[in-house]
Amino acid sequence: MSDLLIQRALISAYHKDGLEPICKKLHQLQVQLYSTGGTKSFIEQLGIPCIAVEQLTGYPSILGGRVKTLHPAVFGGILARKNHLEDQQHIQQYGLTLFDLVIVDLYPFEQTVASTQEEKEIIEKIDIGGVSLIRAAAKNFEHVAVIASTNEYPLLLQWLDEQNGSISYDQRKWLAAKAFAYCTHYDMAITRYFEQFADTGIFFAEASPAYLLRYGENPHQSAQYFGDLHQLFDQLHGKSLSYNNLVDIDAACKLMAEFEETTFAIIKHTNACGIASRATVFEAWQAALQGDRESAFGGILISNKTIDESTAASMHEMFFEVCIAPDFTPSALEILTKKKNRILLKQKSSISTEKYFKSILNGVLQQQADKENYTDWNEVTRPLTSAERSDLIFANLVCKHLKSNAIALVKNKQLIGKGCGQTSRVDALRQAIDKAHQSGFDLHGAVMASDAFFPFDDCVKIAHEVGISAVIHPGGSIRDEDSIRYCREHNMGMVITHTRHFLH
């Protein structure tokens, strides 16, 4: 396939950043420029001649600028195949002007959605003509080069300079692939906006530019991240985030979003190995660490309040991968940045995901986010003490974010033992009890949360034997009454929520 010498270019750009050197280079190469409206004025202000698209169409810009380039004289000049006999006949018959290069920059729809809730303003930023021009030029890449983003401006300048105004076939095909990707991303953003009014029933994969990761879960697996981390975090220090970092950060942020009072958590392989709520960040950190010092090594730390100097000094003594907080005091930053690879993230906003996706088999599962903590609060045995009630609320939230089967043991708003990812609920409870004993906790007066119902009364029996005073679970077993009866007979509190929290 031959190189394409650029002789005529159609330019329509919303943003003019980076456009000046492009226009000057094309003018230097004696390329004839065509444009409309503000872009035409911009080009002419550079002292470069530019032909108005209206001269080709015979129509002015109409409907408040909604229709400018949507005309056969324009699209015929983009879609015409120079090696096709019938197309050549139509070119002659209708006097079509052929374009070799199309440069289009789309209306900023996503930025508008992010900055306003005014529907009319948002709708006007849905680009019609621009997307159509891009798709037409990309489809006809054999005869036309398309630039659909300012990201490609430097490359275009390089090619024009090195290749004396020509673009190769492979380069045009590469640009076409980029152009279709930009259009897909743009259309997805529009669809996401309208999905708040109607469920489309269609799965759209994220089309954000890929962020290459060092590797996946394991070094032999390649990986990419699609999304905008800068929307959520400012990375203040440390190495680039890994696949496993991102998975754990996601789990940490979802867990911490459940708490309003001062809380600190430590995450390991997406599960909380320590979490506590206290009057100060330092106290919360100390209590979270006490929950499982052994597992905390190399974990992800997260606080919902500013990290201060005393907390940072204590944290600095331990190896951890990432720390997430709404802010860090200057003295805390000075301490924590002493380790060059330690990742510090300032969280700017909370995660507000409404839907979760999972790739399985040859398809994708979609479900609503689990935002329901409990449907009911039925105290089915005896009245709870205020301490039991607050601890059960805390334990239920923690257990919701542990991998199933899951048990959380809590005392004084501190996770003191947990069992997770077990094939048996009894095994999860035994693991939680063992963890609590390994850390030196007294389970008398502690409470227990389960992510699903107790199929038998064995769990409440084991819990009672070690001193646990109250339990919370969703209920729903045909043998719920066995567990309820045992708790009544042994003066244990029990809450049934009717809300299960499986997490796989």
Among residues 499, 250, 503, 258, which one has the least CA distance to residue 372? 499
Distance CA 482, CA 475 (A): 11
- Cα 289–Cα 230–Cα 254 angle in degrees, nearest 5: 40
Measured CA to CA, the distance from residue 167 to residue 468 in angstroms comes to 74
The tokens for 254 are 């979802």
Q: Which helix (H) or strand (E) holds 343?
A: strand 343-347
Give one DSSP letter per residue of 30-44, joined into a string: TPEEEE-HHHHHHHH
Instruction: State the Cα–Cα distance between residues 218 and 103, nearest whole angstrom.
Output: 41
Active-site residue, from 16, 71, 173, 269: 269
β 493-496/378-379 pair status: antiparallel
Q: 440-473 in b/e burial notation, b at 16+ Cβ within 10 A?
A: ebebeebbbbbbbbbbebbbbbebbebebbbbbb
**What is the rounded end-to-end Cα distance, in angstroms, of the chain?**
51
Contact (Cβ atoms closer than 8 angstroms) between residue 311 and residue 334: no
Count of helices and strands (H, E) across the chain: 19, 23
* DSSP classification of residue 92: H
Q: Within 13 Å, how many C-alpha atoms sit on residue 57's CB side?
A: 18
Determine whether 464 is an active site residue.
no
CB 382 within 8 Å of CB 486: no
Helix or strand (DSSP H, E) at 231: none
Catalytic residue among 16, 139, 305, 498: 139
- Length of the chain equals 504
437 classed as catalytic: no
Give Cα 320 distance to the centre of its chain. 23
Q: Looking up tokens 């032999």, which residue turns up?
A: 220
Active site (catalytic) residues? 139, 269
